[in-house]
Structure 1
Amino acid sequence: NSGDAKILRNAGARVTDDVLRTLVLATYLLAVDRVLVMPHTDCRMASGDEESIHASIESKHGIDTRSVEFKMVTDQRAALAADVESIRSYSILPKTLVVAGAIYNVGTGELEPVDC
């Protein structure tokens, strides 16, 4: 329906192969014609490195997760720009798909557009 939003969420707001697969389905089967990639401030995925996350999980829960890549972010803006570009350049998606990026500030509720 016009005005509907389809929302995909994942840790770190990263564009993964699964996100691209879902966007292919959304664009061709659900008529999605705009995408906004929107990480948020104070994101745990942007506050450390892979090893610290693995160590935290192992110390708290006794589970070794080193076989999982969490795609930690050291620079949210750079990661956002790279993720927007990966959607724009994905050959299977329509060239008419509008893709933008913005960072949601959890403290103020403001959405800051990022030139990608």
Structure 2
Amino acid sequence: MTGSGFDDLLSANRDFASDFAYGGFDGIARAGVALVTCMDSRIDPLRMIGLGPGDAKIFRNPGGRVTEAALEAIVLATHLLNVNRVLIVPHTRCAVASSSEDEIRERIAASAGTDAAWQRFHVIDDQVAALGQDVHKVRSHPLVPESVQVGGFLYDVDSGLLDQKY
């Protein structure tokens, strides 16, 4: 399909695939790492911890929270994909940690031109406390082995540094 609005990305993909080196890879996390982080485009999850493609499993969502889907990914990763370390990494200046639920709903409604009062955006009132809850959620999950190391870090989008909180 040409002229679809994705032509630039498809062209970049053809360039990427021209010397693609990951064919046949089994998909395990070679460095034994899983990372839960925010969808924010200022985060380069692999490079920020010195890794590359194939080294880690990455789960991204607004706020970098440990949701039910993230827990599912962590359980799969720790049992089937070689993961023995889990990093939970929200970041500074995050929209869901610096706005109220009503403020985000109002912005979405203005952009969409329709009521957004029914949509939850799971804002975070206290980012460090929420990070502690998420770390506890993973550490105490009955299907996450006790041998798995779990850490909670805050990523600074202005310096690129991680600050371990848990």
Instruction: Please report the TM-score for the alignment, with normalisation by the length of structure 2.
Output: 0.65
Distance 2:120 2:112 in 1: 18
Larger radius of gyration: 2
Cα distance in structure 2, aligned partners of 1:64 and 1:19: 29
Superposed, 1:100-115 pairs within 5 Å as: 100-114=151-165
Q: Which structure's relative contact order is higher, taking Cα pairs within 8 Å and 6+ residues apart?
A: 1
Cα-Cα RMSD? 1.3
- Per-residue Cα deviation, 1:19-77 (whole angstroms, up to 9, x for no partner): 10111111111011110000111101111111211111011112434443322112111
Give structure 2 stretches of 5+ with no counterpart.
1-28, 32-54
Alignment of 1:81-96 (within 5 A): 81-96=132-147
2:113 aligns with: 62
Task: List aligned pairs for 1:14-53, cutoff 5 A.
Answer: 14-53=65-104
Q: Percent of aligned pairs with the same residue?
A: 43
Moved over 4 A (4+): none
Question: Unmatched 5+ residue regions in structure 1?
Answer: none
> Which SS does the other structure have where 1:92 is aligned?
coil
Whole-angstrom distance in 2 between the partners of 1:21 and 1:66? 29
Assess if the C-alpha contact under 8 Å between 2:88 and 2:151 holds in 1. Answer: yes
